[in-house]
Chains A and B, each alone.
Chain A
Amino acid sequence: EDKVVQSPLSLVVHEGDTVTLNCSYEVTNFRSLLWYKQEKKAPTFLFMLTSSGIEKKSGRLSSILDNKELFSILNITATQTGDSAVYLCAVNSGGSNYKLTFGKGTLLTVNP
């Protein structure tokens, strides 16, 4: 059975801090790893990673994949209160348009 484990489950930081969120996985036939931000309702797509060692960056967020050690990290620098959300990691372990298996998420709270 495919498994995606995120850590920590929750994290409280102050504005301006840098955070690192972790995602490890055990899946058959790995295809890609996706990060989402979930505020009140739907997950919002952040990144998709397919190649090991290549960093993806968007503003203050960046992510990298290590598909030898089977993990990914999501970094957020200079955190803001608007970054408060649940960050979800999901793995596609089939074809390019197959199902996603999600982790439980990391609840990030950024205090002013």
Chain B
Amino acid sequence: EPEVTQTPSHQVTQMGQEVILRCVPISNHLYFYWYRQILGQKVEFLVSFYNNEISEKSEIFDDQFSVERPDGSNFTLKIRSTKLEDSAMYFCARGVSGEQYFGPGTRLTVT
């Protein structure tokens, strides 16, 4: 059983468009993370979210990115104006006692 679910599984968008990627935890947890993996490259940290606030973010997580937990359940990553280089797998993960469990990912393709 997945620790979190993510929707959509695949999103195709045009450059300059806004996208929202969603993460739904199976149970109630406090720590969430977003990572991305560009094809053939390392998994890279984007942002961590604790108790409904950003606790840490990477250099990649610039002004075009935002995270929210709008209804206390779903956890979203918004990319305001997508670029070609945003094409990647985006993973949501939940954390418990230092262990992190990844969702199945959303493949974002920017054309």
**Cβ of A31 and Cβ of B98 under 8 Å apart?**
yes
**Cβ of B56 and Cβ of A98 under 8 Å apart?**
yes
Which one, A48, A104, A105, contacts B99 given CB within 8 A?
A: A48
Q: How many A-B residue pairs have CB under 8 A?
A: 57
Which one, A48, A88, A97, contacts B43 given CB within 8 A?
A: A88
**Cβ of B100 and Cβ of A100 under 8 Å apart?**
yes
Could you tell me the distance in whole angstroms from the C-beta of A86 to the nearest C-beta in chain B? 10
Interface string of A39-54 (1 = CB under 8 A from B): 0011111001010000
- Chain B interface (Cβ within 8 Å of chain A)? 31, 33, 35, 41-45, 48, 50, 55-56, 58, 89, 91, 95, 97-105
- Chain A interface (Cβ within 8 Å of chain B)? 31-32, 34, 36, 41-45, 48, 50, 88, 90, 92, 94, 96-105
Give me 8 other A-B pairs in contact (C-beta within 8 A), A43-B43, A102-B43 excluded: A31-B98, A43-B102, A45-B102, A94-B56, A97-B50, A99-B58, A100-B43, A105-B42
